[in-house]
Chain A
Amino acid sequence: MRNLWAQTGNYRTNYQQDTTIFASYREVVSLAVLLLGLLALPQFLSRSNVYVLDLILVYGIAVLGLNITTGYAGLINIGQAAFMGVGAYTAALLAPNLPFLLAIPLGGLVAAGVGAVVGIPSLRVKHLYLALATLAFQEIFVWTVGHAPLLKQGGAVEVPTGSFLGYAVGFRNHYHFWYYVILVFLVILAVAWRNLLRTRYGRALIAVRDNDRAADAMGMDPGRTKLMAFALGAFYAGIAGGIYAYLARAVVIEDFMLASSVKFLAMAIVGGLGTLVGSFLGPAFMQLLDLNMETLSNFIRSLGFNTSGVDIASALKPLTFGLVIVLFLMFEPRGLYNWWRLIRSYFRTWPFKY
């Protein structure tokens, strides 16, 4: 009889057990505690910190999508910010007429459609070539927005904040309100992400990543699978974009340029490619790094070193951003997720040694 509280090994003996999501009650409880913690968290934070938290979670959703295209299917995507932009602009245009609960998912759907189109070259080419297709899309997207009067040519498309079920959303509660909205989307999307692997489509993604010829031989269509990976990844980005539009109160093009796409890739790498926990550890780590570097540069600036025109403070952010990517890849390619895994495996049998 397996112990439902502590797990000392894999005791699954039949397929039915193998399809269960949770191995032990401990996992169920820890998940519940995590959720409760997340629900309570904003109560302990100041408004601007809730904004940082919001950003981490929104980026987390975009990175989650990236972890489908790049993590599961192995297709490098240097255009995730553009997909996010598609979602954001769609939501912003729909916002005056539709409630956000419809506008945001619709943004995701439009982004998914665009993602499938961008993924078309994947029917013929792979690897690096695909990365460049997404790069091209990123540039074309920015240019197109710049030439679309409907989108204010990249200027601000305002998104009304308004109210929800009679509950007025304004300066004081803006970030708190959106935090809970994000949380709802996040839980649904994260569960879907996790379950994707339990479907044949999800397994096809990984099969195609690991060996597309073998996958082909086993009856999976690599081209279609990659297209689906693109569409799904873009869908997540689109949702993130829609939420971001509301969070920022207006959509401007600068948020969806190449630099953001690179940032998402960096977050995915630092968090650990293809992992759920990593999709949030990465954004959190990068956001906190950014914040700390800002504090540090302010400190350095306050010492007054900048007189000769050489600004140490200003170099810190790009320098550390790049270094973190490089160092992680060189010394911990599995990302922060690996640290998380090590901690967890220590506690799996805790308090026993085995």
Chain B
Amino acid sequence: MKRIWLLALIAVLGMAQAQKTVSLVWSGAITGPTSDVGAPYGAALEDYCKYANEQKLVPGYTLNCVIRDDQYQNPNAQRILEEALDKSKPVIYLGYSTGAMLQLKQLVNEIKLVTLPASAHIGLIDPPNTYMFLPTSSYSEQIVALLEYISKQNKGAKVALVVNPSPFGRAPVEDARKAAAQLGLNIVDVQEVGGNNLDNTALLKRLEGAGVEYIVHQNVAGPVANILKDAKKLGLDKKIQQLGAVYTGGNDLIRLAGEAAEGFLWASSYYLYDEDAPGIKLQKEISKKYGRPDAIAQSHNYTAGMLAASIAVEAMKRSVQRYGRIDKETVYNAIVSMNGPNAFKPGFAVSTKAGIEIDFTKSEQTGGEGLRVLQVKSGRFVSVTEPFISNLFRKVHGK
């Protein structure tokens, strides 16, 4: 009898010993350009990892999360990934900037490493691609969805696109043009506006002169805020409705634009900090637990980081459950089978009508396709639509 206990003890000890380590790696702009996005995003990954280890979300495995600062520099991102490939052998890569991800796309496909970038540039998942997956809809899809939203309100409206002077900003322009043509919208102008746009009178006056009724932004919060303020000053805030994709909105926009943000429409896949969603509850719990300041804890970029981390952790968990091991191959299989009844529902992003939050297949590499249009009302974003999916995007993109 004693021997059995002994054996059991050995078995338990053996199990404890078998607590294996599995790595994921992220590098992004914790400092440097766009660090207002990168810092909360990275913080979320770090926190979610700690949380996952404490809660033992991946049975039998300890997560080793390599969270590094690449300062928005591509050579740094490349080196950090390569170093991780040599040392910690990650099974999943969470990337960041558009430029670095485009540069590394060839590599991650060659080495068959599942990659979830923070950038939602559509070029990342355009073929040839097998291993890049976007956690939520691409910038292009969001802009097309916004155009669909406009055409529902006002068929044949005149629209202007204002984009960031970078690959990030320019990504959706082509698809937007095609979608507008199908929707009967008239894209009057496409303009590039970056940070440090001190005075946008010229831009706004010209758009007003061209009879523009909607300005769709693909940008970061700073430039959009300045345009909103100038529009209010020129009395165009009622005349021209402004809308924007994921990185235009959030608390930063309200902080920067103040009252001028009133009425701005924002396409976002994520739940808001003041909403009652399971993911947001978790976000509050985790950020409080690890003592994050409000500026980070309440940022939608923190939510975005949480979502990316949760997808990665879920994929690992499923590969343990299904295959009893975690490697690049099983993680990939776990990711591409996250669909139908097996779709993933962490509650950070909105679900579509079918009740699906995050799903991937081999050919469909966008996770959360559902998004809502939110509007600033008395200083905070509130949802003005039900979650919806862009009908048109897949019909126009790449055609």
A, B from the same assembly: yes
Residues of A within 8 A of B (CB): 46-49, 51-52, 55, 143, 146, 152-156, 158, 161, 170-171, 175, 248-250, 252-255, 259, 290, 294, 297-298, 306-309, 311, 313-315, 317-318
Contact between chains at A314 and B35 (CB < 8 Å): yes
Give A52 to B83 CA distance when docked, in angstroms.
10
Give A313 to B82 CA distance when docked, in angstroms.
22
Is residue B73 within 8 Å, beta carbon to beta carbon, of the partner chain? yes
With A51-B79, A154-B170, A155-B167 as known contacts, state yes or no: A314 contacts B102, CB within 8 Å: no
Give A175 to B71 CA distance when docked, in angstroms.
23
Is residue B295 within 8 Å, beta carbon to beta carbon, of the partner chain? yes
Contact between chains at B86 and A309 (CB < 8 Å): no
With A51-B82, A254-B99, A297-B69 as known contacts, state yes or no: A153 contacts B167, CB within 8 Å: yes
Distance of A59 from chain B, by nearest CB (Å)? 9
- A contact residues around B170 at 8 Å (CB): 146, 153-155
| 22 residue pairs bridging A and B, Cβ less than 8 Å apart | A46-B86, A48-B79, A48-B82, A49-B86, A51-B78, A154-B170, A155-B123, A155-B171, A156-B99, A156-B103, A170-B110, A248-B75, A252-B99, A254-B74, A254-B99, A255-B73, A307-B290, A311-B30, A313-B30, A314-B30, A314-B69, A317-B69
Q: Mark B58-72, 1 if CB is under 8 A from A, else 0.
A: 000000000011011
Contact between chains at A313 and B107 (CB < 8 Å): no
Give A171 to B170 CA distance when docked, in angstroms.
30
Contact between chains at A253 and B79 (CB < 8 Å): no
Give A54 to B73 CA distance when docked, in angstroms.
16
Contact between chains at A250 and B102 (CB < 8 Å): yes
With A248-B74, A311-B39 as known contacts, state yes or no: A146 contacts B166, CB within 8 Å: yes
Q: Mark B346-389, 1 if CB is under 8 A from A, else 0.
A: 00000000000000000000000000000000000000000000
Contact between chains at A250 and B69 (CB < 8 Å): no
Give A255 to B103 CA distance when docked, in angstroms.
11
Give A318 to B167 CA distance when docked, in angstroms.
25
Name which residue of chain A comes closest to B194, CB basis.
A146
- B contact residues around A49 at 8 Å (CB): 86
Contact between chains at B74 and A154 (CB < 8 Å): no
Is residue B293 within 8 Å, beta carbon to beta carbon, of the partner chain? yes
Name which residue of chain A comes closest to B292, CB basis.
A307
The number of residues on chain B lying at the interface, defined by a beta carbon within 8 Å of a beta carbon of chain A, is 46
Contact between chains at B103 and A307 (CB < 8 Å): no
- B contact residues around A155 at 8 Å (CB): 98-99, 102, 121, 123, 167, 170-171
Distance of B78 from chain A, by nearest CB (Å)? 7
The 8 Å CB contact of B103, one of A52, A143, A170, A249, is A249
The 8 Å CB contact of B107, one of A249, A298, A315, is A249
Give A161 to B109 CA distance when docked, in angstroms.
13
Give A268 to B211 CA distance when docked, in angstroms.
53
Contact between chains at A47 and B86 (CB < 8 Å): yes
Supply 15 further A-B pairs (C-beta < 8 A) apart from A48-B79, A155-B123, A307-B292: A48-B85, A55-B75, A143-B165, A146-B166, A155-B121, A156-B103, A170-B110, A248-B78, A252-B100, A252-B102, A252-B167, A253-B99, A308-B293, A309-B296, A311-B39
Distance of B69 from chain A, by nearest CB (Å)? 6
Contact between chains at A154 and B75 (CB < 8 Å): no
Is residue B321 within 8 Å, beta carbon to beta carbon, of the partner chain? no
The 8 Å CB contact of B167, one of A47, A55, A154, A170, is A154
Name which residue of chain B comes closest to A52, CB basis.
B79
Is residue B200 within 8 Å, beta carbon to beta carbon, of the partner chain? no
Name which residue of chain A comes closest to B101, CB basis.
A156
- A contact residues around B293 at 8 Å (CB): 307-309
* Residues of chain B in range 118-167 having any CB-CB distance to chain A below 8 Å: 121, 123, 165-167
Contact between chains at A254 and B73 (CB < 8 Å): yes
Distance of B355 from chain A, by nearest CB (Å)? 35
- A contact residues around B103 at 8 Å (CB): 156, 248-250, 252
Distance of B242 from chain A, by nearest CB (Å)? 23
Give A55 to B79 CA distance when docked, in angstroms.
10
Q: Mark B254-298, 1 if CB is under 8 A from A, else 0.
A: 000000000000000000000000000000000000111101100
- B contact residues around A315 at 8 Å (CB): 31
